[in-house]
């Protein structure tokens, strides 16, 4: 897992997060900034890749890093590993990136693990998203109890971002009126890929949640009515170039979870030590 260099992603937004928020357990709001890292894992290298990632997390723990992240395996699409890294601000991101400078021996160990990790990858990319509370829906969740994530990426036509957002808000009104049984967080891409691009994250406790969505979708469509359905369909047809849907599973071996995440389910998030693949 590699972080993008800060020099290529300078701040154009400002966020402040209370220190107490970072120590909370239980349901928590999505972080103001999210770094998304996608690694293309070579076919047949999943286990070896997981071993090097677990070694990476152990090295960070040894250095008392606070740069926690959650790793996921793609269940659909190409062979990929995703990493979600939340930050309260750009300043916090910078501070966490520089933590290992105080531990040169551990930094050297991480560099070695990084080279080993690269042997299992065909490529990687990262992008940064800013949380859009006004486009998000549902109550805060306890992320440590989630096991799956649906990630939907909207690539919006140039100059159509405001119209797209109005379409999302039209949908949000329908979700609220139909008491839609789900929570999702919207992020607007700030750097790392073409813009305007939006990413919607829907954490789930079980894949059975996908089965339950059928009833919620039916109620949502009924609330919209024929005119509402036509209006929403037109907005998205006019504003969206493409939509990518991915279904992923949280993987403790790919993760360096924060203490409050581990506390939600220690049996799931605690990984037994094992040697990285050579």
Section 36-53 average pLDDT: 95
* In a domain? residue 91: no
* In a domain? residue 171: yes
* In a domain? residue 159: yes
pLDDT of 23: 42
> CB–CB of 246/150 below 8 Å?
yes
* In a domain? residue 224: yes
pLDDT 10s digits, 228-258 = 999 999 999 999 999 999 999 999 999 999 9
pLDDT 10s digits, 109-122 = 999 999 999 999 99
pLDDT of 29: 94
CATH number of the domain within which 206 lies: 3.30.70.100
The DSSP call for residue 31 is P
Q: Quote the number of domains for the chain.
A: 1
pLDDT class of 163 with cuts at 50, 70, 90: very high
H-state helical runs in the chain: 46-62, 90-97, 104-118, 161-177, 208-239, 259-264, 266-269
* In a domain? residue 164: yes
* In a domain? residue 238: yes
pLDDT class of 212 with cuts at 50, 70, 90: confident
Question: 175 lies in which domain range?
Answer: 144-245
What number of residues does the chain have? 278
Asked whether the predicted pLDDT for residue 4 surpasses 50, the reply is no
Q: What is the share, in percent, of the chain residues with pLDDT greater than 70?
A: 89
* In a domain? residue 267: no
pLDDT 10s digits, 137-155 = 999 999 999 999 999 999 9
* In a domain? residue 261: no
Span of 18-32, 44-58, 126-140 with lowest mean pLDDT: 18-32
Asked whether the predicted pLDDT for residue 269 surpasses 90, the reply is yes
């Amino acid at each position: 897992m590699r972080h993008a260099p800060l020099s290529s992603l300078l701040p154009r937004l400002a966020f402040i997060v209370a220190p107490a928020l970072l120590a909370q357990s239980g349901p928590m709001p999505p972080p103001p900034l999210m770094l998304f890292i996608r690694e293309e894992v070579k076919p047949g290298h999943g286990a070896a890749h997981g071993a090097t990632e677990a070694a990476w997390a152990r090295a960070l723990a040894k250095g008392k890093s606070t740069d926690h992240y959650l790793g996921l395996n793609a269940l659909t699409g190409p062979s990929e590993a995703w990493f979600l890294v939340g930050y309260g601000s750009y300043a916090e991101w910078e501070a966490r990136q520089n933590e290992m400078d105080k531990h040169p021996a551990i930094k050297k160990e991480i560099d070695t693990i990084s080279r080993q990790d690269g042997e299992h990858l065909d490529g990687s990319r990262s992008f940064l998203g800013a949380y859009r509370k006004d486009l998000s829906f549902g109550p805060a969740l306890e992320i440590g109890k989630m096991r799956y994530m649906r990630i939907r990426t909207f690539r919006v036509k140039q100059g159509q971002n405001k119209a797209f957002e109005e379409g999302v808000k039209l949908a949000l009104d329908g979700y609220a009126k139909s008491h839609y049984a789900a929570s999702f967080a919207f992020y607007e891409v700030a750097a790392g890929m073409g813009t305007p691009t939006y990413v919607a994250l829907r954490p789930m406790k079980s894949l059975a949640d996908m089965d339950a969505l059928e009833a919620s979708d039916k109620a949502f469509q009924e609330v919209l009515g024929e005119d509402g359905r036509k209006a929403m369909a037109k907005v998205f047809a006019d504003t969206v170039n493409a939509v990518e849907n991915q279904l992923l599973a949280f993987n403790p071996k790919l993760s360096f979870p924060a203490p409050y995440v581990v506390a939600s389910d220690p049996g799931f998030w605690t990984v037994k030590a094992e040697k990285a693949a050579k």
